[in-house]
Amino acid sequence: MSTTTVKRAFKYRFYPTEAQAAELSRTFGCVRKVYNLALAARTEAWKLRQERVGYQATSAMLTAWKKTEELAYLNEVSCVPLQQSLRHLQTAFTNFFAKRARYPRYKSRKKSRKSAEYTTSAFRFRDGELTLAKMVEPLRIVWSRSIPEGIKPSTVTVSQDSAGRWFVSLLCEDPAVQPLPPTGAPIGVDAGLYHLLTLSTGEKIANPRHERRDRARLARAQRGLSRKLEGSANRDKAQRKVGQVHARIADRRRDHLHKITTRLVRENQTIVIEDLTVQNLLKNHRLARAISDAAWREFRSMLEYKAQWYGRRVIALDRWFPSSKICSVCGIARDTLPLGIRTWMCACGTAHDRDVNAARNILAAGLAVSACGADVRPQRERPSRTRRSARKQENRWATGGIPAD
């Protein structure tokens, strides 16, 4: 078993005093200002002189900016979050040049996430109390769970969401995260909308549809926001109400996905999923809202990092693999299978549930990939002309269902 210690973030809610809230709000604004100034400087240097400006150069620029009369207010907050914002910009450019992300964008005062990151030189953590730089009193944190005993955080990130809630995230080494005992059980997972997940065992996990359940409440809050005057205090209150509804939806969705992914990782050694391009799927405007609510991308992200923590394996199949169209018994592939067809009869006489059949094909393809290589797929047999002529009759056999797979 691996002895590498996993770094894990422990997130808690806290309630700042008026002075702390004002200090953190100033810090958020300064972090955003420095990030935008550095991004503008790097963009201008490349456009005018074809010159690449790195972190060291922007750090020197920050020192010069603090000495100007216009930006002297940057000295009023801790310098560590400002330096960290330059490091984050450097990471954004590294991802851009590696073609993992698009060109960095400017941070907006209204839309961007409000956060500031502190390293060990900018905070004190002692006897369960956390005190940030430029502050006298420790933060009033609600310790909903304990951090590993004897472990001190390496970085602290303070943030405020659109609902006005304050959070602090402590990045610590967690020795309790160790690989689980091996189990030979593999499983295939098919993502859908009518059922959130369908497993190759035949089990179906319901889709809670959190956004749909709170859609009326969200619409009411947004109508109230649209009636408020731009720039008024009432508009800020209405905007916070909209943020509270969104936060309620996101919290419930995240909690549900955590429970599902933790269970899958604990019970199975190998988990096979499809490599879905959610960004392209969202171009279907009839299903875009339901796809966003399902949060398939977040599900995969959780599954992958938990599998890495606990010594499991996640295999992502090629996105073009026709898992729903292949008979998992005889290997015959259909030419078409509309979304409205939820069950179908194969020419070999096997009745298939669309999602269960897809999950079984995903598992078979994943095991082939694991054994032989990334391009291996289950053997497929093209149906004969006689079988193709019988396809219309098979489609009539299909029962109705919600066309949201």
Catalytically active residues are 190, 274, 355
Distance CA 260, CA 247 (A): 20
CB distance 168 to 11 below 8 Å: yes
Amino acid at 389: S
Closest CA to 343 of 365, 331, 327: 327
CA 351 to the chain's CA centroid: 36
Non-local (6+) Cβ contacts of 147 within 8 A are 10, 153, 170, 172
Alpha-helical (H) ranges within 188-295 are 210-213, 215-226, 233-267, 278-281, 288-294
Helix segments in 310-405, DSSP class H: 354-372, 385-389, 391-397
Q: How far apart are the first and last CA of the chain?
A: 39
- String of b and e for 112-132 (b: at least 16 CB within 10 Å)? eebbbbbbeebbebeeeebeb
